[in-house]
Amino acid sequence: KQEVTQIPAALSVPEGENLVLNCSFTDSAIYNLQWFRQDPGKGLTSLLLIQSSQREQTSGRLNASLDKSSGRSTLYIAASQPGDSATYLCAVKGPDSWGKLQFGAGTQVVVTP
Amino acid sequence: EADIYQTPRYLVIGTGKKITLECSQTMGHDKMYWYQQDPGMELHLIHYSYGVNSTEKGDLSSESTVSRIRTEHFPLTLESARPSHTSQYLCASTKGTGTDTQYFGPGTRLTVL
């Protein structure tokens, strides 16, 4: 059974610092990996989706890398801002799950002014 | 911009009541999902549907039931709510191909007294 782990569970950084969020998964046979953002009491917003054949994806200040063989993905957020404060979740989709995602518990990020 | 809606956003009810959580999407997506999320914990899939008249139970056992009579509508029903059902319920949808992003609604926070 696929297990997804996110470390650390919480992170606090001063504004302007780069954020590095980690996600690991136990079964490397994944179809893709998604990073989401969740604000308190809200739903999830998709940030980046990396296909299993890709090594990284970029969108603005966000960059996500994927190393399938080692079961790891990293989300980098450059020059963090207070508005980046949220919980960030990663989710993997297995090759035969037809869209079902396995989520990590998330990393809660606080960016202080 | 994802067009997926959930009502109500917040619901506080007494034990034993029957409730229906509504989820609708206007994107014409075939696949829809219900997740349950407790505070600080990962999302767990409780139901999913691949199209009209198709519903399946997810990885987490749930006493709720779902129906999919129309493509755009995927309601979740609890026949007799209990305090153990207190949680946040998130609805999501995706177009249907393996590469698609999963879009989430804002969630319903349910409290059963």
Residue from B1, B46, B104 whose CB has the most chain A CBs within 10 Å, to mutate: B104
Q: Is the pLDDT score of A109 beyond 80?
A: yes
Confidence band of B8 (pLDDT split at 50, 70, 90): very high
Looking at the complex, does the CB of residue B51 fall below 8 Å from at least one CB of chain A?
no
Looking at the complex, does the CB of residue B5 fall below 8 Å from at least one CB of chain A?
no
Confidence band of B9 (pLDDT split at 50, 70, 90): very high
Q: Is the pLDDT score of B105 beyond 90?
A: yes
Average pLDDT estimate for B58-62 = 82
Minimum mean pLDDT range among A19-28, A90-99, B20-29, B78-87? A90-99
What does the DSSP 8-state code read for residue B99?
A: T
Q: With H, G, I as helix, E, B as strand and everything else as coil, classify residue A30.
A: coil
CB count within 10 Å of CB B86 equals 14
Q: Is the pLDDT score of A98 beyond 80?
A: no
pLDDT of A63: 97
CB B113 within 8 A of CB B26: no
CB–CB contact B101 A49 (8 Å): yes
Average pLDDT estimate for A24-34 = 93
Q: CA torsion B39→B83→B67→B108, rounded to 10°?
A: -40
pLDDT of B102: 87
Confidence band of B1 (pLDDT split at 50, 70, 90): low
**Tokens standing for residue A26:** 């136990």
Average pLDDT estimate for A9-26 = 96
Confidence band of A104 (pLDDT split at 50, 70, 90): very high
Q: Report CA-CA distances (Å) from A23 to A12, A90, B56.
A: 17, 7, 28
pLDDT of B95: 81
Q: Is the pLDDT score of A95 beyond 80?
A: no
CA of B51, closest CA in chain A: separation in Å?
Answer: 12
CB–CB contact A99 B94 (8 Å): yes
Mean pLDDT rounded to a whole number for chain B: 91
Looking at the complex, does the CB of residue A40 fall below 8 Å from at least one CB of chain B?
no
> Of B9, B107, B46, which is closest to residue A36 (Cα–Cα)?
B107
User: Which position has the higher pLDDT, A48 or A97?
Assistant: A48
Contacts of B74 in chain A (CB under 8 A): none
User: Which position has the higher pLDDT, B2 or B61?
Assistant: B61
pLDDT (tens digit per residue) in B22-34: 999 999 999 999 9
CB–CB contact A45 B104 (8 Å): yes
Q: Is the pLDDT score of A99 beyond 90?
A: no
Average pLDDT estimate for A52-62 = 95
What does the DSSP 8-state code read for residue A45?
A: E
Closest-CA residue of B relative to A43 is B106
